[in-house]
Chains A and B, each alone.
Chain A
Amino acid sequence: MLTDAELERYSRQIMLFGRSGQERLRETTAFIAGAGGLGSVVAIYMAAAGFGCIRIADCDTVDVSNLNRQVLHRTIDVGRDKTESALQTLKDLNPTIDIQPVQERLDEHSIEGLLRDSDLIMDAMDNFETRYLLNRAALRHNIPLFHGAISGFHGQATTVLPGRSACLRCLFPRALPPSTFPALGPTCGVIGSIQVNEALKFVLGKGELLTNRLLLWDGLASSMDELACERRPACEHCRDY
C-alpha cells in the first residue's frame, strides 16, 4: 500500500498509470551503471518517479569539467566520490526510496555483486567494452538493458530484451575505440530521459519499447531518426539465448 505521502508525491503520474503502477515502480530495483552525464539524468528521473531501489555505481570522483552536464553533482562536490555526491542529490530529491551508492569499478569481477536482485540495467557508461559486459550480464540474468550513448550534439538509444530482441552486440558488433568525447548537457538530457521513459514503460507494461530499433537524436537538426535492426543469428553474445 502506498502511504498518503507517496500518493501525494506521485499524484500527477498516478493519473497516468494508477496506484498499482506506482506500486510496481516501488517494487523495482534499478541498476544504473555510471554517475556521469547520462547517469545523472537517468538517476534523477528514476528517483523522482519513485523506482523503489536505485543502485548506482561509479569509480570516479567529481571533476570541475564534469559540471557542464553531470547534474547530480555541484561545485561543492568537486573532489568527492561521484556516488557520494549522487546519494546526497537523490536523497534530497526523494527520501522515500532506497538509494544504494557503490563506489566501484564495473568489471567482470564486480558485476555480479553490483547486479544482485536488479530488475533492469540502465547503461550510462562511456565506453563499449563495459557496455558489452552489461549486455552479457543482462542476457545471463534475463533482465532488460536500456542503452544510451552520446557525443556532442548526437545521441542514440535502444532497448534490449534478452532472447526477444537484438542485443547490443547484434547492433554494434565492434567496439569503438575509447576517446575523449565532446559532451553537452542537453544531449545527455534527451537521451537519459528516453532511457528512463523506456524503463517506465517496461515496468508499467505500457506503449511500445525501442526494441529492434536504434533511435538517433541529432541536436543540430533537432530531429530524430530510427534505424531498424534485428538479431544476428551468429552474435557471439546472444546466439545461445
Chain B
Amino acid sequence: MKIKVRAFASFREMLGSELELDLPDESSVQELLDALASLNPRFCSEAFDRSGLLKDYVLLMKNRKRLDRDSMNQALEDGDEVAVFPPVSGG
C-alpha cells in the first residue's frame, strides 16, 4: 500500500516536503516511522530519542487529524496521509 508523508519545518529539509512510501498492507504508524528513520539518519536522530521512541513533542497527524502516542500501533490504509512536524520554539 502507498502512504503519503508530509514533512514540515526542519524535517522537510531531511525528508523533502512530500514523499510516498510503499509499505506492506496493514503496516502501523510505528512501522511507517521506522521506515522513515531508515531513510535518513539525521531524521532518525532528530525525531527519536535514544530508546527509539518518537520524541514526545513531535506532532503526528493522519489524514489531517492529530495522532496520540497511544495510536502508534494503529494500522494504516492505502492512500493515508501522515504528517510529521517538529514545532519550533524560538522567538
Find out whether the CB atom of B85 lies under 8 angstroms from the CB atom of A181: no
Q: Does B12 contact A (CB under 8 A)?
A: yes
Find out whether the CB atom of A221 lies under 8 angstroms from the CB atom of B12: yes
Find out whether the CB atom of A176 lies under 8 angstroms from the CB atom of B87: yes
Within the complex, the shortest CB–CB distance from B29 to chain A, in Å, comes to 17
User: What are 11 A-B residue pairs whose CB atoms fall within 8 Å in the complex?
Assistant: A39-B91, A126-B90, A151-B10, A151-B88, A152-B10, A154-B8, A156-B88, A176-B86, A216-B8, A220-B12, A225-B8
Find out whether the CB atom of B90 lies under 8 angstroms from the CB atom of A229: no
Q: Which residues of A contact B87 (CB under 8 A)?
A: 149, 156, 172, 176
> Which A residue's beta carbon lies closest to that of B88?
A151
Q: Bound complex: CA of A149 vs CA of B87, how far in Å?
A: 8
Q: Bound complex: CA of A188 vs CA of B86, how far in Å?
A: 18
Find out whether the CB atom of B9 lies under 8 angstroms from the CB atom of A183: no
Find out whether the CB atom of B91 lies under 8 angstroms from the CB atom of A227: no
Q: Which residues of A contact B66 (CB under 8 A)?
A: 229-230, 232
Find out whether the CB atom of B57 lies under 8 angstroms from the CB atom of A175: yes
Find out whether the CB atom of A218 lies under 8 angstroms from the CB atom of B90: no
* Residue in A39, A154, A173, A178 whose CB lies within 8 Å of B9: A154
Within the complex, the shortest CB–CB distance from A160 to chain B, in Å, comes to 15
Q: Bound complex: CA of A127 vs CA of B57, how far in Å?
A: 13
Q: Which residues of B contact A131 (CB under 8 A)?
A: 89
Task: Evaluate whether A154 and B88 lie within 8 angstroms (CB atoms) in the complex, with A174-B56, A218-B8, A218-B12 already known.
Answer: yes
Within the complex, the shortest CB–CB distance from A7 to chain B, in Å, comes to 35
Q: Which residues of B contact A149 (CB under 8 A)?
A: 87-91
Find out whether the CB atom of B9 lies under 8 angstroms from the CB atom of A216: yes
Interface size class of B (residues with CB under 8 A): 20 to 34
User: Considering the complex, which residues of chain A in the window 80-103 have a beta carbon less than 8 Å from any beta carbon of chain B?
Assistant: none
* Main SS class of interface, A: loop
Q: Bound complex: CA of A36 vs CA of B89, how far in Å?
A: 13
Q: Does A128 contact B (CB under 8 A)?
A: yes
Find out whether the CB atom of A181 lies under 8 angstroms from the CB atom of B57: no
Find out whether the CB atom of A183 lies under 8 angstroms from the CB atom of B12: no
Q: Does B17 contact A (CB under 8 A)?
A: yes
Mask, A155-179, CB within 8 Å of B = 1, is 1100000000000000011111111
Q: Does B61 contact A (CB under 8 A)?
A: yes
Mask, B78-90, CB within 8 Å of A = 1, is 0000010111111
Task: Evaluate whether A34 and B17 lie within 8 angstroms (CB atoms) in the complex, with A151-B10, A227-B83 already known.
Answer: no
